[in-house]
Structure 1
């Protein structure tokens, strides 16, 4: 028996996928109608979270944040089956994952944080990525079940909370990428270039392909042999900002990057590779 707590888009599709595989799933959501809607697919909905977890060997969570996870688990505790395994897919702080792992161990339960790089469609199709770390004996026991829910389970070793940290790193990159795309579209608007032309460019030129090499350059820490000098990158950034100002569009992150470039140029790094602006992050 599986219990699933939190029937947002991700949780609901996880449940639908499990039901298609023949699992018995009990569901709960603070907005009861979202849980009840899954009864048509074969789930059993409960209005009380403690009832939803009764008899479940695995209790999965897809909730909002650390506070919500703690509140829901506290309410569910009276109904937990002895030896139940709690698997939390919520994006939370690393500290929260560590604290919950220890706290629930002291109460006689196994808590495993398993955040995901998966959208609702991935959950429905059992594709995407699920991250885990911590006690390897626990992971060995639950990994076969988790593997059925995702395209790939990535095990980051025996450090509790590392999976939470890796999820935050991945999401931070996505946030920055989205902000960068927003600035690109704003600049295109200022230059009277249609968004369809940007799509056409990226279909031919894939800047993402260079990410592994850029990362290794950061890690290596050698910026003395530039492929793009910082002073030249700053000149281009000035052109971006001036074009956006002339076109009356807003840039979210490029002005902040320009300020960082100016700091490093003032330190004497104008002739270094422009990636030197990330030197202090190492």
Structure 2
């Protein structure tokens, strides 16, 4: 299929590489052109603007940072794509942002579904993300080959765009919580005179074990944080989750605390580091 990827940051670049590996015809565009150029060396067509990128697309993937970026790109490129192209909103933009994009899709008469990406840099590059999809089943059926190229599995959250976003917010609340909790437990163990590795050994293989605790815990112990999922990106998501929870009457006590601890790590200079750097806040 002819697939256009708009936004080649950490996730978009990995997604584009996985699509190329699966044999799709890929066109990429990024506001900062230098981030898209390496994909040209791997066989992608590098477009000079978003409109040109979607001109012959069967599927358009929006892999951008926030609502403003998605709206800007959608408004600049919507009229340039074939009328039967399927637009796939993959950016984590929250409930209100998704509603805005749905309204714009209606305005421009485009076919929109969503496929949130659950995973980080390495799974994006390996094509092993979990895709949280939503939209009419017949439209999602049309893009199965694309989702299969970038994900190990696809969870269909519902027939309406927005259900995938809801599931992504719930999943990222878990990721934010378990990462911060790992940092807290390691800090407590160290403060009480123990080798923090003993905490990971204690939970290993137990009912409370988590592969994520080991992955992020090792980075915390080593003090090295190459970004798989940037801490400031998760901070943005925590804000979206908090807004969604508050608007529906769900307590934000834990989310508020998470927001503070990730903000502390960011203020210490770790905003661009991996989310494991939240451990420094303890």
TM-superposed CA distance for 1:144, in Å, is 3.8
1:230-249 → structure 2 map (5 Å cutoff): none
1:59-70 → structure 2 map (5 Å cutoff): 59-70=60-71
State the match for 1:84 in structure 2: 85
TM-superposed CA distance for 1:190, in Å, is 1.0
TM-superposed CA distance for 1:94, in Å, is 2.3
TM-superposed CA distance for 1:99, in Å, is 3.5
RMSD: 2.0
1:40-76: per-residue Cα shift (whole Å, max 9, x none)?
1011112211111111111111111111111111122
Rounded to whole Å, the distance in 2 between the matches of 1:204 and 1:22 is: 39
User: For the pair shown, which has the larger CA radius of gyration, 1 or 2?
Assistant: 1
Equivalent residues of 1:2, 1:59 under 8 A apart: yes
TM-superposed CA distance for 1:147, in Å, is 2.3
5+ residue gaps, structure 2: 211-253, 259-282
- In structure 1, the residue corresponding to 2:160 is in which secondary structure? coil
Judge which range, 178-187 or 71-80, deviates more. Answer: 71-80
TM-superposed CA distance for 1:158, in Å, is 1.9
Equivalent residues of 1:87, 1:114 under 8 A apart: yes
Equivalent residues of 1:57, 1:81 under 8 A apart: yes
Equivalent residues of 1:95, 1:161 under 8 A apart: no
What is the TM-score of this pair, normalised by structure 2? 0.70
- 1:43 counterpart = 2:55: no
- In structure 2, the residue corresponding to 1:81 is in which secondary structure? coil
* Structure possessing the higher relative contact order (Cα contacts under 8 Å, 6 or more residues apart): 2
Q: Which runs of 4+ in 1 moved over 6 A?
A: none
Aligned residues, how many?
212
TM-superposed CA distance for 1:96, in Å, is 2.5
What is the TM-score of this pair, normalised by structure 1? 0.70
TM-superposed CA distance for 1:84, in Å, is 1.6
Equivalent residues of 2:28, 2:47 under 8 A apart: yes
State the match for 2:118 in structure 1: 117
- In structure 2, the residue corresponding to 1:63 is in which secondary structure? coil
Equivalent residues of 1:101, 1:110 under 8 A apart: no
CA change 1:99–1:137 in 2 (3 A) is farther
State the match for 2:175 in structure 1: 174
Rounded to whole Å, the distance in 2 between the matches of 1:176 and 1:87 is: 28
